[in-house]
Amino acid sequence: MKRAMTKIFADFIARRGLKSTKQRDIILDGFLASDRHLSIEELYLKIRASHPNIGYATVYRTLKLFAEAGIAREMQFGDGQTRYEHAGEGEHHDHLVCTRCGSIEEFENETIEQLQAEVANSRGFLIEKHRLELYGVCGSCRK
Amino acid sequence: MKRAMTKIFADFIARRGLKSTKQRDIILDGFLASDRHLSIEELYLKIRASHPNIGYATVYRTLKLFAEAGIAREMQFGDGQTRYEHAGEGEHHDHLVCTRCGSIEEFENETIEQLQAEVANSRGFLIEKHRLELYGVCGSCRK
DNA sequence: ACTCCAATTGAAAGTGGAAGTCATAATACG
DNA sequence: CGTATTATGACTTCCACTTTCAATTGGAGT
Ligand SMILES: [Mn+2]
Ligand SMILES: [Mn+2]
Ligand SMILES: [Zn+2]
Ligand SMILES: [Zn+2]
């Protein structure tokens, strides 16, 4: 997975005539090694621990590149910060967001996806993407 | 509907020991007379046309009050602006958001709601609220 | 290896929407 | 009325990005 992502990003860099830099390598490593759904700030701080000279703006711009390259996806969970998650090839999932501890679980439900398609169809609406999030209290927080 | 909303807000004002003001009346009228899903700025500009002396902050604060009173609901559709829609008693719906013209349609699907509950249940997750939005091209924009 | 130029970087400044401040004004009620 | 309390509006601050810019770097072509 990590290999694949690294390859995809390298190809993207090449295709776009961009340059390979050590900052981008470091940020990619940090991103791939992390828990999913981290904010720019979170990744920046994590990376800064071992690379104090990498700037916020570079992390910010690099995450945008990851999104363009298709290895990251931008998300908004209503906490005022943009979060990035790993984006595998064509994979899709929705989220359960705990309003207590902030943890984010993922799920997939093909039936829901189909019903969404039906709703859109019946109105002549062409779906490009969708967002389904369940907010509430996670299992751990309920104990 | 409008009558009901007005009543609900008046009761809310009374219950909380707040004051009835002409600004709040004007803003409530403007809100109820509007298309749904408008941003603070949009409502502010709309109102300013006939009431140039009403400030942005008052519209901002009053919409928050509407939300607390239960006659409005705060929404985020990813365009960076908070939008408010009319909130009827206990009613719920999800949205189809056109990425071309920005129009927002509403829909309800009980089966999807049930499946969401099942997903949550199977993980011991307690749903407090959810968000389901389909982004794409609306019927009009496809023609 | 060396040049050269476009791409990149990081610090700093800028942006836009939301949220807070505060002096003045308006409301509720005895 | 008179007064305590709340509301208003102009302005400021906050915050999460987003852009700018001078200095640096990557790497294609000598
Ligand atoms: Mn995820
Ligand atoms: Mn709606
Ligand atoms: Zn939790
Ligand atoms: Zn449209």
Render pLDDT for A84-139 as a digit per residue (tens, 0 to 9).
Answer: 999 987 789 999 999 999 999 999 999 999 999 999 999 999 999 999 999 999 99
Q: How far is B79 from chain A (nearest CA, A)?
A: 11
- Residues from chain A that touch B136, judged by Cβ atoms under 8 A, are 120, 125-129
Domains of chain B and any CATH numbers? 2-86 (1.10.10.10), 94-142 (3.30.1490.190)
Q: How far is B11 from chain A (nearest CA, A)?
A: 29
Give residue B107 CA to ligand 2 midpoint distance, Å.
8
Name every residue whose Cβ is closer than 8 Å to that of residue A125 and which is 6 or more positions away in sequence.
A119, B96, B98, B105, B134, B136, B137, B138, B139
Reported pTM: 0.91
How many other C-beta atoms lie within 10 A of the C-beta of residue B112?
A: 23
Residue B126 is nearest to which of A78, A112, A142, comparing CB atoms?
A: A142
Q: Is residue B119's pLDDT more than 80?
A: yes
Protein CA at B79 to nucleotide C1' at D17, angstroms? 14
Q: Taking residues B21-40, what's their average pLDDT? A: 95
Which residue has tokens 């207590």?
Answer: A100
Of A105, A97, A108, the C-alpha closest to A137 is A97
Give residue B77 CA to ligand 3 midpoint distance, Å.
25
Q: Closest nucleotide to B40's CA, by C1' atom? A: C17
Q: Is residue B6's pLDDT more than 80?
A: yes
Q: Taking residues B129-139, what's their average pLDDT? A: 96
Give residue A143 CA to ligand 2 midpoint distance, Å.
34
Task: Please tell me the predicted confidence (pLDDT) of residue B3.
Answer: 84
Lowest mean pLDDT among A29-33, A135-139, B33-37, B80-84: B33-37
Rounded CA separation A2/A103 (Å): 23
DSSP for B78-100, please give it.
SSSSEEEEE--SS---EEEEETT
- Residues from chain B that touch A99, judged by Cβ atoms under 8 A, are 128
- Average pLDDT over chain B reads 95
Chain D, protein-covered positions (CB within 7 A): 5-11, 15-20, 25-27
Q: Taking residues A71-96, what's their average pLDDT? A: 93
Q: Closest nucleotide to A80's CA, by C1' atom? A: D16
Task: Please tell me the predicted confidence (pLDDT) of residue B16.
Answer: 95
